[in-house]
Amino acid sequence: MYNRVSEKIIDNFISIIGKENVILEEESLENYAHDETPLYYSKPEVVLKPVNKSEISEIMKVASAHCIPVTPRGGGTSLSAGAVPLYHGIVLSLERMNKIREVDEENLMAIVEPGIITGLLEKELAKYNLFFPPDPVSLDSCTLGGNIAECAGGPRAMKYGVTKNYITGLEVVLPDGTVIKLGGKLLKNVTGYDLIDLFVGSEGTLGIVTEATIKTLVRPEIIIDLYIQFKTVAEASRFSIEVLKQGLNPTAIELMDGDVVRMVEKYLQRRVPHSEVDGHIIVEVDGNDKEHLKKIWERIGDIALKSGALDVLVAESVHDRERLWEIRKKIGDSLKAQTRIIAREDLVVPKNRIPDLIHQLKEYVKNLNCALYAFGHLGDGNIHTDVGCTDENLLLQTDWISQMRKKMYEITIGLGGTITAEHGIGLSKTPYLSLALDKKTIELMMKIKKEFDPKNILNPGKILSDITAKPCNHSNRL
């Protein structure tokens, strides 16, 4: 299939990027063998850390000539094993390409390298009173390149949309080393097929993003958060639908079910109000007019109380807001510390089906002696459903985990949903793609992949499973 990275090829890479940026130590390679997806591991033969598009282009030419798989990597926070180098080979880390090249205050745009940490980008843009709305909860460790590759969302996606809504230009290195430039500081552009939108969300399988032109917005002056508790997820969901029906346009409506809140409460060792109930909601509103915003959150509070809320707490200061969001942001750490997480899902259904989805999944998983923890973006129908088990015997075999995930996806699709809203298919969902897409659609995707990457060297095994892979033929062997 693929060739190994020989010493001669390593020398080649050293001449392109310097010895210090060619990582071969076993211990360091371990760090690149996994991302944040449970149960996936595969070690690269080498990690390369280039610093510009020319170096990446040269690397890709060598990889292509010798038929070596290349896995691009940003912050390694993928939850679909997208950054795991399934066939070993090269991990191409973009971590050194982390600069903001330009902030254009007149056009409200910025030109940015892909390896910048999303949270740092946010901090830098704040100096210009600007912000980049996509806000994955992982923003302290994920990168813009990874966000583009996954078309990341986050709590604010409900009001502001996802990554693809903010990318107006891209520079991309193709698998054979060719560099292409698309778009620019343009808010409207229908010049030919929309390849920018094709690259955004392509999970590093079609090209390596080396620069992005991003649209930014002027920062809202005021942000207010509400913490609301309902007895049930169904009540919380009805509240959320009513808020949206009344056109109140909050920035975020986030849900945490009772099992999640109780885990976080234990982990943080701090009391969370009404942790005994099941429907916990954070609503965020933003804007510039304090009086207007006050009217909005008061109306949201009224709707909550009429929908059966036990309490509505308002967080206005930065300190109070951060303390509130800590509950939401520490979910991952809390679950990891108290149970063995075997699946981290990002299912999406029409908003009004969320209570059914959570109920059906919880019942199903309970029968497997595991627990399902539901939380996430209630306002746009995208709910994370992590599965945790404490019975180590169950974990000795993994076949049942595949069966469980298949069943979870079938339930989701049965409710009019699909299997991933923002984490991508990656490696972990490839076996289930055909549940969500028809044969012809998958064939079209395979043709697109083949056109961009005929040797199948760029992040192979991701999105489209290996049955479809057409790796290099024998004549390419060393």
Ligand X SMILES: Cc1cc2nc3c(=O)[nH]c(=O)nc-3n(C[C@H](O)[C@H](O)[C@H](O)COP(=O)(O)OP(=O)(O)OC[C@H]3O[C@@H](n4cnc5c(N)ncnc54)[C@H](O)[C@@H]3O)c2cc1C
With binding defined as CB under 6 A, does residue 423 bind ligand X? Answer: yes
94 scored as a contact of ligand X (CB under 6 A) = yes
Residue 175, interface with ligand X (CB under 6 A)?
no
Residues 224, 291: contact at Cβ < 8 Å? no
Q: State the nearest-atom distance from the C-beta of 330 to ligand X, in Å.
A: 9
For 44-194, list the strands marked E by DSSP: 46-48, 70-73, 90-93, 100-104, 109-112, 130-131, 167-173, 179-183
- Sole window of 8-16, 71-79, 120-128, 464-472 interacting with ligand X (rule: CB under 6 A): 71-79
Query: Given candidates 59, 60, 459, 464, which one binds ligand X under the rule CB under 6 A?
Result: 459
- Binders in 115-144 for ligand X, by CB under 6 A: 136-138, 142-143
To the nearest whole angstrom, how small is the minimum distance from the Cβ of residue 302 to ligand X?
29
Contact region for ligand X (CB under 6 A) — 147-155, 234-242, 268-276, 319-327? Answer: 147-155
Q: Does 38 bind ligand X (CB under 6 A)?
A: no
What 292-299 contacts at long range (C-beta under 8 Å, 24+ apart), as own/partner pairs, is: 293/222, 293/224, 296/248, 296/250, 297/224, 297/226, 299/246, 299/248
CB of 326 to ligand X, least distance (A): 13
Determine if 75 is a binding residue for ligand X (CB under 6 A).
yes
Q: Is 74 in the site for ligand X (CB under 6 A)?
A: yes
Q: Dmax over Cα atoms in the chain, in whole Å?
A: 71
Q: What is the DSSP letter of 393?
A: G
Q: How far is the CB of 208 from ligand X (least distance, A)?
A: 4
113 or 235: whose CB is closer to ligand X? 113
Minimum CB distance to ligand X, residue 73 (Å): 4
Residue 135 CA: distances (Å) to CA of 44, 160, 188, 329, 341: 29, 10, 24, 12, 24
Q: Does 35 bind ligand X (CB under 6 A)?
A: yes
Distance, in Å, from the CA atom of 351 to the CA atom of 360, rounded to the nearest integer, reads 15
Nearer to ligand X, 71 or 216 (CB): 71
Angle at 334 between CA 232 and CA 230, to 5 degrees: 15
Minimal distance, residue 75 CB to ligand X, in Å = 3
The span from the CA of 33 to the CA of 143, in Å, is 18
* Beta strands across the sheet bearing 167-173: 100-104, 109-112, 208-215, 167-173, 179-183
Tell whether residue 71 is a contact of ligand X (CB under 6 A): yes
- Sheet hosting strand 340-348, strand order edge to edge: 311-315, 222-230, 279-287, 252-257, 371-377, 382-389, 340-348
In terms of DSSP bridges, do strands 279-287 and 222-230 run parallel, antiparallel, or are they unpaired? antiparallel
44 lies in the site for ligand X, by CB under 6 A: no
Q: How far is the CB of 112 from ligand X (least distance, A)?
A: 11
In 151-232, alpha helices (H): 157-160, 195-199
Which window, 74-82, 277-285, 308-316, 358-366, contacts ligand X (CB under 6 A)? 74-82
Contact set with ligand X (CB under 6 A): 35-36, 71-79, 82-83, 94, 114, 136-138, 142-143, 145-147, 149-150, 152-154, 203-204, 208-209, 332, 422-423, 459, 462
